[in-house]
Amino acid sequence: MQLKHRLPWTRDLARATYAKWRDEPIQHRLVLLFLAVVALAARIDAMRSILRFDERTTYYDFVKQPWSYAISAYPIPNNHVFHTLLAKASIAVLGDSIWALRLPALLAGLLIVPATYVAVRMMYRSPAAIIATAIVATSREMVRYSTDARGYSIVTLAFLLLIIVGARLQEENATEGWVVFAIIAALGLWTIPLMLLPLGTVAVWLLAANVYRRQWSRMRHLALGLGLTGLLTLLLYLPIIAREGLGALTHNEFVVPSTWTTFFTELSLKGVETLDFWTVGVPHILSVVLCLGVVVAMRWHADVSRQPVDVPFAAFVWCSVFFLLNPRAPSARMWLWLIPVVA
């Protein structure tokens, strides 16, 4: 199939999304509106908490520094550059306050809720999308990182948007769609290089879908989209590379590979930490039920989904390859992006 050169691809996506929303039963729409209100109330309440250590580091070391420094300095990975620039803009417009500092993360965190519904709805029927949205709207850690002046909620939102755009590209392959895909991915990478994990997951998901459907020509389109992502990301990080060298991004103390013994030891410890992170505030029996639900969902995915491959499976494959190449166990918060789809 040839790429379609049509300008209103994003408009068509918006119209298709709205049409699916309009066709949902009124009960489902009311539930979703209620969940949106709950998500907003929970996050507004969390906005009143005091600044955490990482937030203070972000504020004093980067947000309060000149624009030229914020865009080019990377002494530690605390500089989530795209988020830093948004936070600086927010403070410049709204004044120097905790609310203004946290506003970019809050807006991204709020958008995660409807994005979860749309992304899951493009793969499953509406009850599954409602369940996932309910979990994301009320998850204690999703609420926390939606009000944490860091880039994690932006990365999670970018991941969901890539799923939405990717699912649409499987229906209608278009140049504009791949450009949008590349821009979203590049902004996610510019926020935190951690975006390599969700981006790779989406790439494996699309690759597997193309193989399953034998749409060989789309392999080239996917490669071009990822190539454009890489080029845009390189351009965005050029100020940092020019100032501090590529090693500041690729060989800092938080990303350099560890020994395999250390890796497996830390992986087991941080694996338990991640499970606690995902289920904090949830009764243990319900956590067990939810974990079993994930296993059952992966088993029956092909029978109930519009997509031949499920995203959690693609995440498992890509992350296994990634950590084989770079054995460094991730902390629990680095898996925040996966919660909506697992939900």
The tokens of 138 are what?
A: 């009320």
Confidence (pLDDT) at 181: 96
Separation of alpha carbons 232 and 189, rounded Å: 10
Confidence (pLDDT) at 215: 82
Confidence (pLDDT) at 175: 87
Confidence (pLDDT) at 45: 93
Confidence (pLDDT) at 297: 76
CB 337 within 8 A of CB 198: yes
Per-residue pLDDT of the chain (343 residues; tens, 9 = 90+): 445 445 477 788 888 888 878 888 898 889 999 999 999 999 999 998 999 999 999 999 999 999 999 999 999 889 999 999 999 999 999 999 999 999 999 999 999 999 999 999 988 888 889 999 999 999 988 999 999 999 999 999 999 999 999 999 988 888 889 999 999 999 999 999 999 999 999 999 999 998 988 888 888 999 999 999 999 999 999 999 999 998 888 888 888 888 888 888 888 888 778 877 777 667 777 777 877 877 787 777 777 777 878 898 899 999 999 999 999 888 888 899 999 988 8
Contacts for 197 with CB less than 8 Å, ≥ 6 apart: 315, 318, 319, 322, 330, 334, 337
Confidence (pLDDT) at 126: 87
CB 318 within 8 A of CB 341: no
What is the residue-wise DSSP string for 100-132? Answer: HHHHHHHHHHHHHHHHHHHHHHTTS-HHHHHHH
Confidence (pLDDT) at 132: 93
